[in-house]
Structure 1
Amino acid sequence: MGDAYVWVADVDARPEEAAVLAGRVMDWLERRGIVRSELTNCLTGDELGRAPGPYAARAVTEDEVTAGGVTADGVCGVGMEIERRVYVCAGFWTATCPACGATTEPAERGPDVWTRAWAPLLDDLYAWFGGTGPGSGACVRCGERAEFTAWAIEPPVAVAHLGLVLWNWPPLGESFLDELSAVLGGHRLVTGSTTA
């Protein structure tokens, strides 16, 4: 079994404020005892992160963060991402246009069955990630463009300049997410999980 992570994307954070907001979040997580203050090698690769603190269970839906979550490499930590990112979940997506209600069909065979018809939406996501596209996607049915945050995409997809990534943690609790949003000034959050 491989590593998995839970992500929380702040879809309202502007690029110029992401670093300040990331510092605010980490300070809050440390004060609450959800993460430890020292940076350690608790993430994948060479990245440093913060290991679970004594009160990490306050953030999740299960009693223990490390129960069944730490891999043989000791990967179980929290990191902040302050960059342009597209956050996705594993599995087939369905996307619904906010203008006309057209919906992609989930794939029945192969990972790209629906993407052949909806490739322009994926192209828009990749262009945004690469820094060359706007923060909106075009519908292949009606041609209207809408901000990515307006699209109903399941499992969740988010475009953001600020994200919290929790390696090998259980799902996050609703009360924790509400508090995190308040720490971020009421920003909208999108959360999901995936495997590496």
Structure 2
Amino acid sequence: MSMIGELNFVLGLQIKQTEEGIMIHQQKYIKELIKKYKMENAKTNKTPMGIGTRLDEDPTRTCIDQTMYRGMIGSLLYLTASRPDISFSVGLCARFQANPKESHLVAVKRILRYLKRTDDLSLFYPRSDSFEINSFTDADYVGDLVNRKSTSGMVQFLGPCLVSWGSKKQNTVALSTVEAEYVAAAAC
């Protein structure tokens, strides 16, 4: 291997190093994604998912192309490497890859419209001497309409820097909100 200079771009991640710290983003990847799925002229959204959005199997709606839907989900899952703000929404939409319906596609397109509006967001890791680990977690109780399981969300900080995040449907059905929170804390 040879050193060819400062790292600027690797695996779709754009990296900018300054005296203050390191900035990581995927602005170019988002622009390519918007273009690939023909969303250049779509209106933008302020949030990746509406507050009242509740996705279920939706048996009454028309089925859509699985290959296209899975491609969109795969692209969005890769994007969560630098965008923790879409992690929950993408995870929720990913649950319906086996039999996607129009309502699921609408939710995915809303995420894309949100990304179009916020393509300039990035992760910033400032220089710091603090190596204290802080973790935060939360869970919704019976949030999945299909099988009544709860969803855990978690983030970890090393000093002031966000280093890990995730959202996952719990393996078991919680019998109370306390149990759902306990399972989330254990996973975190």
Normalising TM by the smaller chain, what interval? Answer: under 0.3
> TM-score, normalized by length of structure 2?
0.21
1 or 2 for the larger relative contact order (CA 8 Å, sep ≥6)? 1
More strand by share: 1
More helix by share: 2
